[in-house]
A and B are shown apart, each in its own frame.
Chain A
């Protein structure tokens, strides 16, 4: 059930700064709406939610929401969010970044936040282009994609964030598109419940810069194109893979099997929960264990 727009406006946004500065038809508004709905359906108090954003079109999102917000320097949103999460472990920290912000300028901050597996909910809005600065090629511009800095088509291999997140040790990775709005809300809602680092990659549209240069049509046509270019990963299969007795493979000490990457002939981009690694302990849990260990050591020394 979709929340009424007037309710979202009243409860979760700052109406005095609206309308947004984004171009007409930009998918970022849909993502903003999905975040507000996910926070509502998780039953979180907006005073216990923080949104940290970097620079870029996506970075402007923190100005519109009525949570605790931080608008930080370019690419450093995960670094600020890590500090916030350490100071206030009770808070749900959302970290909103664009593709250039997260993978290029802030690439190492994102990798280290994933390595620590700290309890952030990162939302990476992927529109394959630097939107705010005039349509330059970003780390996720596909090979052949025309941008203002790659007039005859990009020749660089795009970044594979999914594999990077798996290797770095993120606990949860999901992919959604702005076309599939109901799934987007559910995936963000699920990511908010993960104790470790949860990443939701949202495929968005930049019809003004990327769409126009690549003849992809207007906002509606780009969103309809996402339907054919993506396919849903069967969530039932993923749940089954998490159950060790249904698979004949070796299990880890905690009884979980991390879902291995699936290679098949279908080249469409997968959407849904791509992987979960719940057996990896999150930073807060390891920190707590360390503190308890130190306390018991001190108590032993005193007796």
Chain B
């Protein structure tokens, strides 16, 4: 059984590349991201992130990145 560690990942958002399409917010299974007043994503529950990279896979603009602790 794999133990999923939480609270060790970092999420980087690139505001210049992001177009606020909301795909990362829609695809996150842990509701880590939420939209701000301008519909841009903000990290609101970082401790819940399990590094599934669903946001990164579905980001059409290369604007989000989940960084594991070792790198």
Contacts from A to B (Cβ < 8 Å): 2, 4-6, 8-9, 13, 18-20, 22-30, 32-33, 181-182, 218-220, 223
Contact = CB atoms under 8 A, between A and B. Distances in A.
Nearest to A207: B21
Interface size class of chain B, counting residues whose CB lies under 8 Å from the partner chain: 20 to 34
Interface in B1-37: 12, 16-23, 26-27
A220 B60 contact: no
A99 B22 CA distance: 26
Given A2-B56, A5-B56, A220-B27, A19 B61 contact: yes
A181 B65 contact: no
B17 A182 contact: no
Contact of B62 (A26, A29, A182): A29
B19 A218 contact: no
Nearest to A7: B65
Contact of A24 (B19, B62, B65): B19
Contacts of B61: 18-20, 29
A145 to B, nearest CB: 23
A25 B17 contact: no
Contact of B65 (A6, A30, A220): A6
Contacts of A182: 57
